Amino acid sequence: MQDNGALDLPWQTLNDEEQTVVFYMGIKSLPIITQQLVKVGRAMSTPAALIRKGTHANQQVIKGTIETLESLVILHHIKPPSLIVIGNVVDTFADSQLKNLGYLSPIDNK
């Protein structure tokens, strides 16, 4: 929940390194998110990904770490709508498997 620019989340409960954390529409709050996660003990080297326009034909998946997320947003011009995924699950898939993951092409009934 966001209130007056502050994110009011149970940050300490998001510290489990086996837990995957996903933030919807969190690009503008990314500095707060990364700062708070590190503050409660998440390693800066924790895998993280930015997913822009998920399930669309022009989906982008950019992988990094908590430490590199903010610079990746700037470098790749990431804008909402985007997801932020943090956790070891990010390293589960090879980059080639993330191309248009979940995108369904229209069926040609001709």
To the question of pTM greater than 0.85 for the whole model, the response is: no
- 40-45: long-range contacts at Cβ-Cβ below 8 A with a sequence spacing of 24 or more? 40/11, 40/12, 40/14, 40/15, 41/15, 42/14, 42/15, 42/17, 42/66, 42/86, 43/17
The pLDDT tens digits for 57-101 are: 788 889 999 999 999 999 999 998 899 999 999 988 776 656 655
> pLDDT digits over 38-56, tens only?
999 999 999 999 998 887 7
Arithmetic mean of pLDDT, 3-18: 80
